[in-house]
Structure 1
Amino acid sequence: MNTFGQIFRLTTFGESHGVAIGGVIDGCPSGLELDVEKVQKDLDRRKPGQSHITTQRKEGDKVEFLSGIFEGKTTGTPIGFIIRNKDQHSRDYNNLREIFRPSHADYTYIKKYGRRDHRGGGRSSARETIARVAAGAVAKQLLQNIGVNIQAYVSQVGEVEVKKSYLELDLGLTESNIVRCPDLETAEKMIARIEEAGHNHDTVGGVITCVATGAPAGLGEPVFNKLHADLGHAMLGINAVKGFEYGSGFAGTRLSGSEHNDVFVKDGETIRTKTNHSGGVQGGISNGEDIYFRVAFKPIATLLKEQHTVDSSSHEVTINPKGRHDPCVLPRAVPIVEAMAALVLADHFLMNSISKL
């Protein structure tokens, strides 16, 4: 499927080394005052060439809206947009036309389609996520109108980990450094770890934490579209993602039920929970507390060093790939995680709006 969502729906198209990456957003309500500069700002956070710890591919990544917006506001009709590719070095991939790169989608695409675009991975390239960021930026603006804010940050690179809860951090510092970690002391160690991987022509993975504040209680569509399930679906569809946990996650297995239960308390005229091991979701429906989750990213599969593999004729070969690649995907993946979270929450907000008379 190239379409995500049920009411607020995004369809994406394009390949890494094609003419453009683009998308069509359907189901966005009319009358939303759209700030295109905010959309571009999120695209700039994702684009390559931001710093010495990201790929040096140079792309302006300027979004062009083609439809669905009139006089600065959405019309309720499909919102079409494209981001043109400018700096493809397709020749860097010519020697890989018949070779299956380790841990890439080369072999599986051949088995599924019978052919593949070898230039930068084609449709399997993470460059496709630029369309998700553009659409997610629109969803963010819809959510901001109801007081929902989404903030992600890098919480782990390799073995270097932020030890503090998001509640102990100033998330406003996330964009103050090139690794996008609000714990500044840990950020320096993360940068050094990424530099080490790059120096060794290797890669390193890590974890992104995401927090959504201000989400109203009642979002979620049991039983097969539980809010946390749709968030997991969204995150696991991002390139290089290997794991998803929300609330206490796997750490919660170490607690007893009496320790883990979120006790309800009265807070003025509202009902809150004393703790939030549930991550803001109970029974698949948001309960009004912060929604928080963690997303694990593997080390990027493209290494600029010698590796052994086989080709399409099953011959053993040795490859030494060329090209421009990130030693760590985490800094550029922060806006992607935010975008996918926004698409899910916007979709559930609209579903919830029509589920009541």
Structure 2
Amino acid sequence: MKTKLFGGGVLVILSAVLMFFLFSDGIDRKKDVTIEDSEQIDEFKNIKASDYFPRIVTRNQYTSPNGDGTNMTVLEIAKYGVGLNNREERMIESISYQGNVELGRAVEHYSVTEKSIKNQDGLEIFKTKPRWTSNNTEFHISEYLKTYTVPAGSFDNCIEVTRVDIPTQLTVRMVHAPGVGIIRMTSQSQGKEEELIAELVSTSTTLYGESDNQEKEDVDELDEIIKEDSENSSLQPVGNLPERNDKVSNLTLSDYDQRVNDLHLKQFDYILLHRPEFKENDTEFTITYTDGISIITNKEGFIKEVEYSQEEPMIEEDLYNIQHLIMGLDDEITMEEANEILFADEPIIYSVGAFNLAINKSKNGFTFLAVTK
């Protein structure tokens, strides 16, 4: 099983709570109020879990204390996970910063319905019932339709969900605001005071309309947003999917290995392309590395295509790996341009150096493919 890789040690606490459950909670309290029976509150029957997931496309910014007087910033963008016509699959892309230094990236996938919000690990982090158990974790509604104030402003009709990890008894309180998602989150260990994990400092929504009666024009508007982003990019899309062919680039395997590994070593303390296994036929070599990376070259060592595939949802480590694989293809491409490809809303083929490339992402895995033009 893959483990999540983060840009620095300061992300461990946030990743264990904010990134894993991705929703926040909080606000100081004198006692924990449990709603024992939904029948006691008529309005509870009308609550939809999907209303408490960020609208598409919402951009949230959080602050998280590091414990040493400094704060970390987390930026999140809520998007559709698998195509615009799939209303249940969502994804949240996040980037964490310490000052101006990027610490890490993550992509989390969710299944969102009227009854529940479930993350990619199968944990039901929100349900329209007073209490439930999921993945060895107990949940209950501890505050209902309350107004909470955080740096981003005041939010009405919030629902606080308290979760308790059964083995460790770690308590995490998450406040969900309609259309925004998490606005505050705290945690508390046995015998210790409650600590702030993350708090919303700003939120903006480019497009409203994430509900069961969403109008078609909202989807058309989102299509237009994606189109405009692409047209304004210095990386121009050239089609829908890259087609494999027999063309050969002028980039050698040795030069590519060197570029990619130099980029990776600047971020981590190990190289990415290592332990190669070679297979050959009459015209080409196929070099397979660990982590699902493979490169095809001709017999002279010039690259024909690069592929990176996993049958698991994309995590931070994969983002960095693909970023370096992209930048290794052309020494003139910037990190910002590589990130533009990484976070494209749909699988679009981009022209980078001597290659056409694209990324297909879903909750079941991903494929990065670069083919010689």
Taking structure 2 as the reference length, the TM-score comes to 0.22
Q: Which has the higher contact order (CA 8 A, sep 6+)?
A: 1
* Structure number with higher helix proportion: 1
* Structure number with higher strand proportion: 2
Taking structure 1 as the reference length, the TM-score comes to 0.23
